[in-house]
């Protein structure tokens, strides 16, 4: 299994502030790779750097061996990178159907209607609401719409930023199941940013953990689930008092 996406020693800044510090990671073809970390760890910045929304000051981002850093987002999208940002960002005054067709803006083939039907098969609730303005959808339905719109690009890799944010446990489980199905059935490679570590690790093949802009730990998803650090800090398997007292010591066990 070859690496589809690679970051090597990437540094990205917000003005004078370094948001990610020498980040290196790779996502292999047909894998789901998760990026874990607390708020402010730099996870969203990594996705923005990959998709072209932000330019790195140092390092390289390669897709299938081709450098894509500092390219415009529309160019990166045409190369097969679909970015589903945090907060969904659907077009509220466009219908569900129109939102989905926007996702195929860069395509010039004759299979767009086929792809639209595929999205409706994965998200039957969207078919029922296809003529409704997207702003009238529930939060969970908007998240489905955002993922469906990304699928319309027919991407080689999908970047998902906090797809479970603000959703009920039932919807989180439903979204997780759909992500897994897209990976297995449509062979879409996925880089998943999540604070819901249990959900992310349950469906992922490999994982990276970020703190203060750098990668501090990486391993298979199964091994990460069994790691003491992850259990304490991300899976809630210690009480808050223990976490508060020991966190600084545990950091020193991470590279």
* Per-residue model confidence as pLDDT tens for the chain (255 residues): 679 999 999 999 999 999 999 999 999 999 999 999 888 899 999 999 999 999 999 999 999 999 999 999 999 999 999 999 988 789 999 999 999 999 988 777 778 888 999 999 999 999 999 999 999 999 899 999 999 999 999 999 999 999 988 888 999 999 999 999 999 999 999 999 988 899 999 999 999 999 999 999 999 999 998 888 787 777 666 545 444 444 434 454 555
Beta strand pairing status for 189-194 and 206-211?
unpaired
Residue 178: what pLDDT? 93
Residue 143: how many CB atoms within 10 A of its CB? 28
Closest CA to 154 of 88, 108, 121: 108
**CA 115 – CA 191 distance, rounded (Å):** 21
Q: Do the beta carbons of residue 100 and residue 152 sit within 8 Å?
A: yes
Give the global pTM.
0.89
**CA 69 – CA 63 distance, rounded (Å):** 10
**CA 161 – CA 191 distance, rounded (Å):** 9
Task: For residue 37, report the phi and psi dihedrals to the nearest 5 degrees.
Answer: 160, 160
Residue 107 exposed, middle or buried by CB count within 10 Å (0-12, 13-18, 19+): middle
Terminal C-alpha separation, the chain: 26
**CA 90 – CA 123 distance, rounded (Å):** 16
The DSSP H or E segment spanning 26 is: strand 17-28
Side-chain-facing half-sphere of 248: CA atoms under 13 Å: 2
**CA 229 – CA 208 distance, rounded (Å):** 13
Beta bridge partners of 8: 60
The pLDDT tens digits for 47-60 are 999 999 999 999 99
Total domains, the chain: 1
Residue 131: how many CB atoms within 10 A of its CB? 9
The CATH number given to whatever domain includes residue 93 is 3.40.50.300
The pLDDT tens digits for 169-186 are 999 999 999 999 999 999
Residue-range definition of the domain harbouring residue 122: 3-251
């Amino acid at each position: 299994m070859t690496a589809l996406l690679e970051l090597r020693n990437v540094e990205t800044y917000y003005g004078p502030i370094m948001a990610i510090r020498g980040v290196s990671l790779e996502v292999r073809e047909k894998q789901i790779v998760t990026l874990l970390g607390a708020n402010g760890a730099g996870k969203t910045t990594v996705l923005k750097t990959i998709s072209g929304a932000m330019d790195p000051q140092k390092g390289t981002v390669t897709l299938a061996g081709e450098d894509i850093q500092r390219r415009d987002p529309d160019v990166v999208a045409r190369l097969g990178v679909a970015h589903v940002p945090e907060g969904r960002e659907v077009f509220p005054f466009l219908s569900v159907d129109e939102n989905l067709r926007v996702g195929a803006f860069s395509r010039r083939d004759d299979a767009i209607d086929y792809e639209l039907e595929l999205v409706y098969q994965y998200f039957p609730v969207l078919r029922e609401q296809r003529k409704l303005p997207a702003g009238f959808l529930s939060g969970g339905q908007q998240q489905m719409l955002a993922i469906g719109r990304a699928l319309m690009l027919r991407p080689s890799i999908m970047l998902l930023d906090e797809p479970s944010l603000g959703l009920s446990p039932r919807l989180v489980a439903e979204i997780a199941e759909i992500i897994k199905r897209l990976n297995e059935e449509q062979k879409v490679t996925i880089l998943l940013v999540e604070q819901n570590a249990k959900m992310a690790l349950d469906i992922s093949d490999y994982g990276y953990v970020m703190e203060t802009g750098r990668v501090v730990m990486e391993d298979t998803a199964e091994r990460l689930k069994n790691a003491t650090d992850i259990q304490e800090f991300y899976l809630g398997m210690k009480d808050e008092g223990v976490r508060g007292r020991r966190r600084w010591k545990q950091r020193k066990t991470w590279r």
